[in-house]
Amino acid sequence: MTILVDMDDVIERLLARLVECTNEKFHRNATVDQVTDWDIIVAYPGMTKKQVLDFMFEPGFWMTVEPVPGAAEALKHFMDEGHEVYIVTASEYEVINEKMTECLFRLFPFLSWDRVIVTRRKQLIRGDVLIDDGIHNLEGGDYKKILFTAPYNRDYDAEANGMIRVKNWDEIVRIIDGME
Ligand SMILES: [Mg+2]
C-alpha cells in the first residue's frame, strides 16, 4: 500500500511547541486544548496570527519540536512490512530546509527527502490512505481517510463524512494492518 502521512501534529507536535513559545514570550497561559479552531489565534484573543506563527521562522525552532509518541515505530513498521510511506505536508516554503533537517530527519532518520511531498493540494496525491489532522486535507481525497484527533477537529462528525477518527498511533497501526 501507499501510505500518505501528514507531518504537523500527526508525527510531530508543532502546535504544542507554538503554544509553549507564545505563552512564554507573551506571558499567556493558553493550552493546546483551547485551540478549538484551525486558526490558532482562537486561544490568543487580541493577538495576531503572525505573532504566533512567526516562531516557526526563528533559528533553532524546529530542533525543539517533539515527536508524537509511537509515530516513528509505526512508520518503521509499515516500511518493514513493504508499504510505501510518504510524508505529505503543506509546509511554508520558507521553512522547508530547517523543518526537514532539524525536525523530520532528526526525529525520523530512516526517512529521506525522496519520501517527502510538499503540497497544499493533498487531494491531487494518489495513495491508499492519508493520515491527517486537517479535515480540509481529507475531504474530497481519493484515499482512505484517517483523521488524527485534535481539539480543532473534535466536533467534526468524522464517521458521517467517511473518515475514521483515531487518537493515537496504536489505533492507526491496528487499522492499517487490518487493511492488508
Ligand atoms: Mg497537520
For the chain, the structural domain boundaries read 2-12+66-179, 14-63
- The reported pLDDT for the residue numbered 100 is 98
Query: From the CA of 134, how far away is ligand 1's center (Å)?
Result: 6
Query: From the CA of 80, how far away is ligand 1's center (Å)?
Result: 24
Q: And the C-alpha cell for 166?
A: 483515531
Class of domain 2-12+66-179: alpha beta
44, amino acid identity: Y
How many Å apart are CA 23 and CA 18, to the nearest integer?
Answer: 8
pLDDT along the chain (180 residues), means of 10: 98 98 98 96 96 96 98 98 98 96 98 98 98 98 98 97 98 94
Query: From the CA of 36, how far away is ligand 1's center (Å)?
Result: 14
- The reported pLDDT for the residue numbered 32 is 97
Query: From the CA of 147, how far away is ligand 1's center (Å)?
Result: 10
Q: What is the mean pLDDT of the chain?
A: 97
- The reported pLDDT for the residue numbered 89 is 98
Helix (H, G, I), strand (E, B) or coil at 12: strand
Query: From the CA of 46, how far away is ligand 1's center (Å)?
Result: 25
How many CB atoms lie under 10 A from the CB of residue 162? Answer: 11
